[in-house]
Structure 1
Amino acid sequence: MKTLLTVSALALLAAAPLPKKGEPAITPLTQTSGGVRPAEQLALRFDSADLTFEVLPDSETLNGIAVLGFTAKSPVDRLLIDLDKNLPVTAIAIDGVALTPAAWSNPEGRLTIRLPRTLAAGAKVSARITYGGTPHVAVRAPWDDGMVWSKTPDGRTWFATTSEGYGCDLFWPCLDFPTGEPGVVELHIVIPKGLKAPSNGTLIGIDTLPDGRTRWNWRTRHPNTYAIALNVGPYEEISGRYNSRYGNNIPMFYWYLPGEKAQAEKLFAEFAPTLDFFEANVGPYPFGDEKVGVVETPHKGMEHQTINAYGNDYAKAIEGFDWLFQHEFTHEWFANQLTAANWDDYWLHEGYGSYMQPAYGLWREGRARYAAMMQTQRATIVNKAPIVQGRVLTEEEVYEADKGGAGQDIYVKGSWMLHTLRGLIGDDAFWKVTRLAVYGRPDPKPGNFVPRFGSSAEYEGFVRQVTGKDYGWFFDVYLRQAALPDLIETRRGDRLTLAWKVPGGGRFPMPVEVSVGGATQVVPMTDGRATLTIPAATHYVVDPDARILRRSVAIEDMQAWRAAQAAKRATP
C-alpha cells in the first residue's frame, strides 16, 4: 500500500498554522448525527468498510482512503455518504472505475456521488473514496467531538478521536445514524515511527514502511457508527486472558502511557472481576472472539467497541473500583451489542450504562453500597423533559436541553427507572428482560448471537413476555412524561391514606412498601390508592428502602437552592 502524501506535500502541511480547538468550523449537517434520513441512505445496507488513515501529528492533518461496500435494498441512482467537507475528496472510483470530479459534490457535509447507472434492489456496489485535510478539533472532548491532539508528559504525540455526538463523518465517510453500522470494518492506521495505534477488533498485523513509519491493521465486525476510534501514542501494554463462564478464553489488553505501570496494573486487575459480574448477570461478553481492549486517552472516556477510551487519571473512590472504566465497559453490552435504532431510545445505552455501577456495587459489597450509589444519582435527576419523545431524533435533540432533550436524565433517571423496575418485577425477571434486550434471545452463548438494534417499544414487549403482565402504565409515566409520580400521604387519626398522583392522570398501580413499627408490609395500590390503619402513636416510614422513583420535595428544594447560589456567584 502506498503512502498517501509525498514528501513535499508533508513539508507544506507541516508549515501551515495548526488548528485551534473548535477549528475548522463544521456545518450544521456535519454537527448533526442521527435524525430523519434521506431515502437514498435508507436504501443501502452497509456491508463493509476498508479504511486507511494516515495520521500526521506535525500538521494535525488526516488523509484517508475508504473502500465502502453496499447492497441496495431498493433501487438507488446516487450514494449519499456523510463526510465533513473539511476533508475534501480528491478521487472516487465506483466498482474500480474512476469518476470525473463532476460526478460528486460535497457542499455541506453530505458527499453526493452520482452512480454510472441505477443500482437495482439486491445489487452490490463498491465506492473507493480518497480524501484528506484538517479535521475538526474538539473543544472539550468527549462532551463535544473531533480530534484530540495532545502530548505526553515527555512531549511525544498523544492523539485520539471522539465522535458520538457529531458522528463518524468527522474523520471517515460513513452513514451517520445508528442503523448505519457496517457489517465488517478493516482499519489500516499509518503513524510515525515509535508510536502505537491500538484500535477496534483484532490486530491482523503491523507493517513497517520504507520511511520508518508503521501501519497497524485491525479488523472488527458490526461496529457502532461512532465506535470506530483512532488512538496514537507511545503506549506500553499489559495483556492477559479471561476464562469465561461460557467456556471461551478472552484476550484482554490495556494500553497506557510510559511511567504508569503500577497504576495501570491496578486498573487492569479490575478487568476480569468486572467481566465476571457482567457474564454472571447479563450474559457472555459480546466480542470474545476479538478482545477486551482499553486505551488511555487525552479525554475522559468513550465506549469505543473493544477499545474503550479511558482518561480518569486512575481516580480512587469509596466504591473501590473505577467507575469510568466500569461505565464505558458496560457499553460493550448496552451500546455496542444492543444499539438503539433511534437516538430517542438512548436511555437503553446510558440508563443501563449508569445503572450498572450501583448494580456492580451491590454484587461486590451488598445493599449499603448499592443504596449509597443510587442516592448519589437521585440528587441529579431534573425531570425537565421526557426521556422518550416518540419520534426520530438527532443526538443533539436528546442531549441538549435547549433543543428539548432530556440530557443527563437519560443517564440517571434511566438508571432509577431500571432500579424501580427491578424492585417491581423482581431480580430474576429483571435480568431475563435485560438478557432478551441485549441478545434478542434468552439463551445467549458465544457464537449464537450478533449485535442487534433495539427500541423502547421492544423493551416493553420483553417485560410483558417475561412477566406475563402489561406494564404500559409504568413506562408511560417514567419514559413519556417529564414529571415524576407523586405519592400523597394523608393521615387522620389512625388512618393513613396513600394516593398516587401522576402526570397525565393515568393509571399507576405501583405497590408501595410501608414500615410500621419496624415491620414492613407491601401495600398493593391496585387502583392507585390505599388506606391503612396505623395507631396514631405508631411511627411509620413509606418506601423505607427507596425502591421507587418518585417526587421528592427535599431534592427539589436542594436543587433550587443550589441554582440560586450559582446565580449569586455569577452576578458581578
Structure 2
Amino acid sequence: MILALMSQSVLAQNLPTRADTLRGSITPEREWWDLNYYHLSVEVFPESQSIKGKNLVRYRVEEPAEVLQIDLQEPLEITAVKQDGEELTFKREGAAHFISLKKQQEKGAINELEIFYEGKPKVAVRPPWDGGITWQKDANGNHFIANANQGIGSSIWWPTKDHPADEVDSMMISVTVPKDLMDVSNGRLIKEDDNGRTKTYHWFVANPINDYGVNISIGDYVHFGEEFEGEKGTLTMDYYVLRDNLEKAKAQFRDATRMMEAFEHWFGPYPFYEDGFKLIEVPYLGMEHQSAVTYGNGYQNGYLGRDLSGTGWGLKFDFIIIHEAGHEWFANNITYRDVADMWIHESFTNYSESLFLDYFYGKEAGQEYVRGTRMNIANQSPIIGIYGVNRRGSGDMYYKGGNLLNTLREVIADDEKWRNILRGLNEEFYHQTVYTRQVEEYIAQQAGMDLKAFFDQYLRESNLPVLEYYFTENNTLHFRWNGTVPAFDMPIDVLLGEEKVRLQPATEWQEMNVKKATDLEVDPDFYVSTLKMR
C-alpha cells in the first residue's frame, strides 16, 4: 500500500499542469498571429546581475483577435506594453501574459508591440541543463556572462512567443554592456555604439531563428577568423575567445572547418551562410545557438577529455565543436514544432558524431563509435515525449537515437541513398519547424520502404526488438521478431557460418533452409537483442 501511494504521488507530480499547457501548446492567444520580426534591446548590469530592456514584436495577423500571449518567467517583470504608442493592459498567469489589444487586428495586417521588462533573471546553477544566466568572472577578474535555456525556455530572460512552432523570420539583437566587455550574439555584427561608460553591440539575424537559439555571450573577448569555401560559396567562420586562450583556441578550433567539410558532405550546405558561423567561448559546456555556437570544453578532445563511446574514437575530435555545430542542421535548420519531438534535434546530432568519424577515418571508425555509445542507453522509456505540454521524451533520444539511425542506414543498405536522404531532409524542411511524422514519412518515401513499424518500435516503445531463433535437425532456421509492435518486419543481416544473409523476420515464425545448422551472428550495426531458443 505504501509503495502504491508513493507511485501515485510520483505520478501526480508528473501530470501536466496548467503552466505546462500554457507553455507547451499552441494556445488560442498564440495561434492567430505569425511572428515576423523581433528587435530585442537589453542592457546587462553585471554587478547587480540584472537586466533591463524591451522587445519590439512585429507580427502578421492570421485571424482577427483581441488577446495576444507573450511569455516572460519570474522573477523578471513586464513593466509596460505599448502598441502604436498607446499603453495596453495585460493579465499574468505564471509565465504567460495575456495582452488586451485596443487596435483592431485585421487579417493580413502587419502590427507591432513594444514590451518593456526588467529584473534579475534566474541564475543558471548547472548550465546548459537547468538553464538561465551564468554570471562568472574570468581568470583576470573580468565579467564572463552567458545564457543557456533550451529546456527552461527563452522566456527565462526575455519576453517572447515561447513556443517552437513559430520562428521569427529575422531579428535584431542589441546588447548594452560595460565598455570593457563585448557581447557576441547571433548573426552578423552590424554596428557598435560607444555610449561612454557602456557599449552597445547590434547583431542582425537574416534567417529564421528558434527562440531558444537566441543568445548573449559577454566577456573580454578577442577575435580571429577564417573563410571556408563551401557548397554555397565563401562562408565566414569567426571565433571569439577569452584573451588568455587565444593561442589554445587557434589550435583547437581547427576542428571547426573539418566539421563544416564533413557535415556539408553528409547534410548539405550549411543553412545560414548569410549569418556566418561563430564559435564563442562561454562559462559552461556549450550550446547550439544558431550561427553562434557556444563553447566551453576546455580546449581538449572528447567530452571534457572523455570518450563517450569507450572505443578511443571519441578522442579524435572536440565533442562540443562537432556535436553542437551539428545542431545547425538538426535543431536550427530543421526544428521540432513540439518539444515532444526533441529527438529530431538530438538523435540526428548524436549520429552526426559518428558520421564525422566516417568521413575522415572510414565507415568502420564511425560504426565502432556509435556501437560504443550503446553503454549509455537505458531502454526504460520512449524517445517521443507528450505533445502539447512541453514534455520531452527520454534521454535515450541521444545514444539510442543515434543507433536507431545507424540501424536504419543498414536496413536501407545503400550508403549513397542514405546520404541523399540526410541531405534531402535539410532541403525539404529547410528553415522549417516539423513534427516527427513528417520526418518519418519523408525518409520512408525516399527509401521506398514502409517504415511505420520501425519508427513506432524505436521511438514510441522502450524495449528493443528481440530476434528469436533456433535450428532444427533438417538444417532449417526458424526465426521471428518478439517484444515488438504489431507488424514489425525489419530486415536484418546475419552471419550463418561465414555466409552473410539478409533475413526478413516477422512477428510470426519464419523458416529458411540453410547449408548447415550452425550458430547465427547478427550484424552488430543493427541495434537489436537476440535470443537463441534451443
The TM-score, its normalising length taken from structure 1, stands at: 0.83
State the AA in 1 paired with 2:58. G
Shift of 1:32: 7.9
On the 8 A contact 1:484/1:550 being kept in 2, the answer is: yes
SS at match of 1:116: coil
Shift of 1:30: 7.4
Shift of 1:519: 3.0
Equivalent residue number for residue 395 of structure 2: 408
Instruction: Report the more deviating stretch, 108-117 or 381-390.
Output: 381-390
Residue of 61, 64, 75 corresponding to 1:72? 61
Output aligned runs, 1:383-394, within 5 Å. Answer: 383-388=379-384, 391-394=387-390
On the 8 A contact 1:30/1:83 being kept in 2, the answer is: no
The structure-2 alpha-carbon separation of the partners of 1:502 and 1:527, relative to structure 1 and needing over 3 Å to count, comes to closer
Equivalent residue number for residue 288 of structure 1: 273
Shift of 1:465: 2.3
Equivalent residue number for residue 426 of structure 2: 438
Residue of 500, 516, 521 corresponding to 2:496? 516
Shift of 1:360: 1.0
Structure 2: gaps (5+ residues): 1-16, 303-311
Q: Matched residues in 1 for 2:452 and 2:112: separation?
A: 45
Equivalent residue number for residue 155 of structure 1: 141
Shift of 1:182: 1.2
Shift of 1:299: 1.0
Q: Matched residues in 2 for 1:32 and 1:157: separation?
A: 37
The structure-2 alpha-carbon separation of the partners of 1:552 and 1:174, relative to structure 1 and needing over 3 Å to count, comes to farther
Residue of 153, 178, 188 corresponding to 1:192? 178
Q: Matched residues in 1 for 2:131 and 2:75: separation?
A: 15
On the 8 A contact 2:21/2:388 being kept in 1, the answer is: no
On the 8 A contact 1:206/1:214 being kept in 2, the answer is: yes
Q: Matched residues in 2 for 1:451 and 1:79: separation?
A: 25
Q: Matched residues in 1 for 2:246 and 2:480: separation?
A: 57
Q: Matched residues in 2 for 1:315 and 1:534: separation?
A: 52
Equivalent residue number for residue 356 of structure 1: 352
What are the Cα deviations for residues 199-251 of structure 1, in whole angstroms up to 9, with x where unaligned? 1001101110033x1100001131111000010000111211101133x1010
Equivalent residue number for residue 276 of structure 1: 261
Q: Matched residues in 2 for 1:200 and 1:121: separation?
A: 31
Residue of 309, 323, 326 corresponding to 1:327? 323
On the 8 A contact 2:74/2:121 being kept in 1, the answer is: no
Residue of 12, 29, 35 corresponding to 2:24? 35
Equivalent residue number for residue 84 of structure 2: 95
Q: Matched residues in 2 for 1:165 and 1:511: separation?
A: 37
Residue of 277, 297, 313 corresponding to 1:312? 297
Residue of 530, 543, 549 corresponding to 2:522? 543
Equivalent residue number for residue 166 of structure 1: 152
RMSD: 2.1
**Structure 1 position 457 matched with structure 2 position 471:** no
Shift of 1:495: 3.7
Shift of 1:140: 0.7
State the AA in 2 paired with 1:105. K
Residue of 356, 359, 362 corresponding to 1:366? 362
Q: Matched residues in 2 for 1:130 and 1:233: separation?
A: 25
The TM-score, its normalising length taken from structure 2, stands at: 0.89
Q: Matched residues in 1 for 2:462 and 2:28: separation?
A: 33
SS at match of 2:371: helix
Instruction: Report the more deviating stretch, 324-333 or 430-439.
Output: 430-439
On the 8 A contact 2:124/2:130 being kept in 1, the answer is: yes
Output aligned runs, 1:4-23, within 5 Å. Answer: none
Equivalent residue number for residue 210 of structure 1: 196
Q: Matched residues in 1 for 2:178 and 2:386: separation?
A: 47
**Structure 1 position 49 matched with structure 2 position 49:** no
Shift of 1:439: 2.1
Residue of 391, 410, 414 corresponding to 1:423? 410
State the AA in 1 paired with 2:529. R
Q: Matched residues in 2 for 1:126 and 1:178: separation?
A: 20
On the 8 A contact 2:476/2:511 being kept in 1, the answer is: no
The structure-2 alpha-carbon separation of the partners of 1:229 and 1:392, relative to structure 1 and needing over 3 Å to count, comes to same
Aligned length: 500
Structure 1: gaps (5+ residues): 1-27, 399-405, 442-449, 554-572
Q: Matched residues in 2 for 1:68 and 1:245: separation?
A: 34
Identity across the alignment (%)? 28
Output aligned runs, 1:247-258, within 5 Å. Answer: 248-258=233-243
On the 8 A contact 1:89/1:130 being kept in 2, the answer is: yes
Equivalent residue number for residue 23 of structure 1: none
On the 8 A contact 2:343/2:398 being kept in 1, the answer is: yes
Q: Matched residues in 1 for 2:163 and 2:25: separation?
A: 9
Shift of 1:267: 2.3
SS at match of 1:438: helix
